[in-house]
Amino acid sequence: MMDISKMQYRPCVGIMLVNAAGKAFVGKRIDNREGDWWQMPQGGVDDGEDLREAVLRELWEETGVKDDNVQILAQTREEVFYDLPEELMGKLWGGKYRGQRQHWFLARFIGTDEDIDLKAHKSPEFCEFRWIDPELLPDLIVPFKKRIYRTVLDEFRPLI
């Protein structure tokens, strides 16, 4: 039996990438066959890695977008946390973490859709992408991350 109270949160960054029209990037996860879930790019922070470096690395790994095609506009004032649902607890990330602690960044995409390459990394996360009205973000993400998306959207809305 796992003692969840002793498990840590995985350090992570998330990116709300918006285009010139104010639409947010979402990708459909390759590994989620149980639903039509879409998410913004996010991923772990390596030991000693600067948060902005982690954002740009994750964005490149998941979307193929190079750092010269983005302008970072803002960062959430505080970390946001979420717990994994019970059925995933102990299964992801080697069973080491109970969820994630995330710093989110808002970035303006200044490239074109041709600058997006979901297969740029050897293990793609997304099988397709689209640009959506940011208000739809909480409706498209897996249920256990909805609160996070609402928090991020509320904080970044005035800047989009």
Query: Is 70 exceeded by the pLDDT of residue 105?
Result: yes
What is the structure's pLDDT at 86? Answer: 78
Q: How far apart are CA 110 and CA 76, in angstroms?
A: 21
Residue range(s) defining the domain that contains residue 45:
4-159
122-140 tens-digit pLDDT: 899 999 999 999 999 999 9
Are the C-beta atoms of 80 and 156 separated by less than 8 Å? no
Are the C-beta atoms of 97 and 80 separated by less than 8 Å? no
Q: Beta-strand (E) ranges in the chain?
A: 8-18, 24-29, 38-39, 42-44, 70-75, 80-83, 97-109, 126-132
Which of 9-23, 59-73, 91-105, 114-128 is predicted with the least confidence, judged by mean pLDDT?
A: 91-105
The Cβ of residue 101 has, within 10 Å, a number of other Cβ atoms equal to: 15
- Cα 20–chain centre separation: 20
23-62 tens-digit pLDDT: 999 999 988 766 789 999 999 999 999 999 999 999 999 9
pTM here? Answer: 0.92
**Residue 22 falls in which region: left (phi positive, over 0), alpha (psi -120 to 50) or beta:** left
- What is the CATH classification number for the domain harbouring 42? 3.90.79.10
Domain count for the chain, please give it. 1
